[in-house]
Amino acid sequence: MSAVIHPRTYTASEVLNQRQSELDELFTVLPTVSAKSVQGHYPGRLFAILGLGMLPRFVASGFYRLMGAPILNPWRGKSFSNGAGANNWFGVKGLAFGRYTVSNGVSEVDGLPALMLNYDVPENLALLRRIRGEARQLSDGVVLGRMNWKTRAGLYRVLYFTLRKGD
Amino acid sequence: MRSDVIIIGSGFGGSFAAHRLVNAGAKVTMIERGPWRKTAPLERLGVQVERSPLPRGRHVFSHLVREVHAPFLKASGVRLNRHGLFDIHLGGELTVVCSSGVGGGSHVYSAMNTRPIDPAYWTGHVDGVDEHVMSPWYDEALKVMGSQVPQPGQGMPNFTGDRLATDPLLKADADLAQPAMGYRFESGHYRNNSFLGSAQGDKVTLDERLIVPATSKGLTVLDRHEALDIGAAASGWRVTVRDEAGRYRHLQAPRLIMAAGTLNTLRLMLGSRARGQLGELPGLGLGIGGNGDSPAWWACQHEDADYSLGPPCHGRFTLREGDTPGYLTSLGLNGVDELPLPASIKKRLKQGLLLVGMGTDGANGQAVWRKGRLQLRYDREANPILGDIAKAYRQLGLASGRPLYQFPQWPATVHPLGGARLSQSARTGVVNGQGQVHGLPGLYVADASALPAAPGTPPSMTIAAWGQHVAQGICLEG
């Protein structure tokens, strides 16, 4: 007898409950993702936002759940195409804003291999060009990413996100 | 924290695997969701960690149950008390009771250390595993547990070999093989050392015998840490755990051994598979069994008896009339003195016997994952051993003229097994002859979920033997 398996996203409650420092540890142990393997549209969820770690876990996770509602958060995910990509707003295939290049590299945070999303591209506003994204494989079809903010003093973790391969 | 191997669970499979691995020089991290227990042997060993009292005296009810899982409760179950000794999994087709704490089932088991009923139990399942390969691991496990076979005339209270010599209904002749018991008979102490834990330490438990000594050789125990998720890591395997304060940690090691007990191993593996972290594993969940467990309470009310005395199990017996199905044992309510009950009720309980039958059921049930929760499918009618034991109990009740209570419509077991069973291929099971999951290098299963069939006897030594076999394979790989 064989079972039919439908990969689902990582248990949302377990990820949404975690602090940035805990997700840092998770991110460090995950395998990297090949830049060639990410193609198409990926619905996303945001969580572990800088500064919200002081909130009780249930409050923070409740807030992140609310952030999953389109009416409260227009960011819907990311899309990838041949070494480049963009954030999608107001829909999974919606407005593309906030572009980046995609390559395999080494994380500036932990020195381990990761998929690098570099926002330092001419199409972006100057403010966005300081963003450095990183992503690793959480499970089949699910990627855990984090958004870093580059300053002269170094990188700051701003938030984490998951991306799930769209149908 | 860098480890060569992470082991989830500290019962017979996990402890014996850890014992063998640290002796070979490996650094091992053991994850256990329950606490260390407050027992005299750990006191003597000077273990300096927070320990939870066993359920006795004023703690008897509050510390009895840790967690309850039921179809009508939330999927993750309901935690009653973090110090609780038992986890209860209520199911329509099979209910399971198991223990929680460093040392796993050794705190609550009946100390019977036996091999399977079938002398060729291991033969014919996979290449490279047979009695010749497994027998030395049983010998080692029996030696580690200090197991001894009680003999008539040794003065052990209520030993069936003595007590049933003149019984009109039951017998335990010298030719009936009695189980070895992991018990310090030399202590001469026979009270309060059974299902509610062995605070005085007369029953040998894994925490004092294996786990504490291993901590000085490279074993790190993360007690009160619950494993939530497993998956591939950059280097080997990842385990996500949560401690009692709700903090998450993510551990990584080249090798991961699942030994959390059948239900918890299956819950982790089925859940992780559903999240797309273990691939297909088509054989996962097949081969669930209850080892033919058939408990009954015989209110025999022998006036001169105090059956609460003796080691946790009094020994085996057979019926004088007719064939005896399976493997029948008698046990007293050892520990009844610790219960806050009126003296008259205690007296009645001391004069009755708990009968436990086991046998080789078909291990033909299935574990499935539905809406984020584990469900067990188990057809009582497809396992005739259960009906045979129930029939023998009915005959005994009728012949004795005393009430004998059993619950045939409520199948329950303390020995769930299978679901990640040993098999030649991934279609029919989960692990190969080294205990490694088919197609997933570095992931192993070393508890009763890997057993290919019901041993028909208490399975602790069979699990211990398998745990050592798995660990030895890892040691040989280097």
Q: For residues B448 and B267, give the distance between their C-alpha atoms in angstroms, rounded to a whole number.
A: 14
Summarised one tens digit per residue, pLDDT across range B47-106 is: 889 999 999 887 888 899 999 999 999 888 899 999 999 999 999 899 999 999 999 999
Rounded to 5 degrees, φ, ψ at B55 are: -75, 95
What's the order of all strands across the beta sheet hosting B28-31? B219-222, B28-31, B5-8, B255-258, B443-445
Rounded to a whole number of angstroms, the distance between the first and last alpha carbons of chain A is 27
Low-confidence ranges of chain B (pLDDT < 50): none
Structure token pair of residue B398: 């009728």
Question: CB B251 to CB A139 under 8 A?
Answer: no
DSSP string of B30-84, one letter each residue: EE-SS-EE--HHHHHTT--S-EEPPS-GGGTTTTTEEEEE-TTS-TT-EE--TT-
* Helical (H) or strand (E) element with B16: helix B12-23
Instruction: Indicate whether A4 belongs to any domain.
Output: no
- Judging contacts by C-beta atoms under 8 Å, the chain B residues touching residue A8 are 274-276
- Please classify residue A52 by burial: count the beta carbons closer than 10 Å to its beta carbon, then call 0-12 exposed, 13-18 middle and 19+ buried: middle
How do strand A154-164 and strand A40-47 relate by DSSP bridges?
Answer: antiparallel
Residue B322: predicted pLDDT: 85
Number of domains, chain A: 1
Summarised one tens digit per residue, pLDDT across range A109-134 is: 999 999 999 999 999 999 999 999 99
Domains of chain B in sequence order: 5-151+192-293+364-378+411-477 (3.50.50.60)
Question: CB A113 to CB B234 under 8 A?
Answer: yes
* Helical (H) or strand (E) element with B132: helix B131-144
A151 interfacial to chain B (CB closer than 8 Å): no
Q: For residues B406 and B403, give the distance between their C-alpha atoms in angstroms, rounded to a whole number.
A: 10
Residue A40: predicted pLDDT: 94
Question: CB B276 to CB A8 under 8 A?
Answer: yes
DSSP string of A25-36, one letter each residue: HHHHHSPB--GG
Tokens 């022998």 -> residue = B302
Looking at every residue in chain A, the average pLDDT score rounds to 89
Question: CB A22 to CB B249 under 8 A?
Answer: yes
Q: Which of B476, B467, B475 is nearest to B134 (CA)?
A: B467
Instruction: Indicate whether A5 belongs to any domain.
Output: no
**Which residue in B246, B273, B427 is closest to A2 by CB distance?**
B427
A73 interfacial to chain B (CB closer than 8 Å): no
Question: Are B52 and B37 a contacting pair, CB within 8 Å?
Answer: yes
* Helical (H) or strand (E) element with A113: strand A113-118
Question: Are B393 and B387 a contacting pair, CB within 8 Å?
Answer: no
- Judging contacts by C-beta atoms under 8 Å, the chain B residues touching residue A30 are 233-234, 238
Residue A5: predicted pLDDT: 33
pLDDT-derived band at A7, boundaries 50, 70, 90: very low
- For residue B459, the one-letter residue type is P
Residue B239: predicted pLDDT: 96
Summarised one tens digit per residue, pLDDT across range A138-157 is: 988 899 999 999 999 989 99
Rounded to a whole number of angstroms, the distance between the first and last alpha carbons of chain B is 20
Shortest distance between the Cα of A61 and any Cα of chain B, in A, equals 13
> Which residue range(s) make up the domain with A60?
21-164
Structure token pair of residue B179: 């189980």
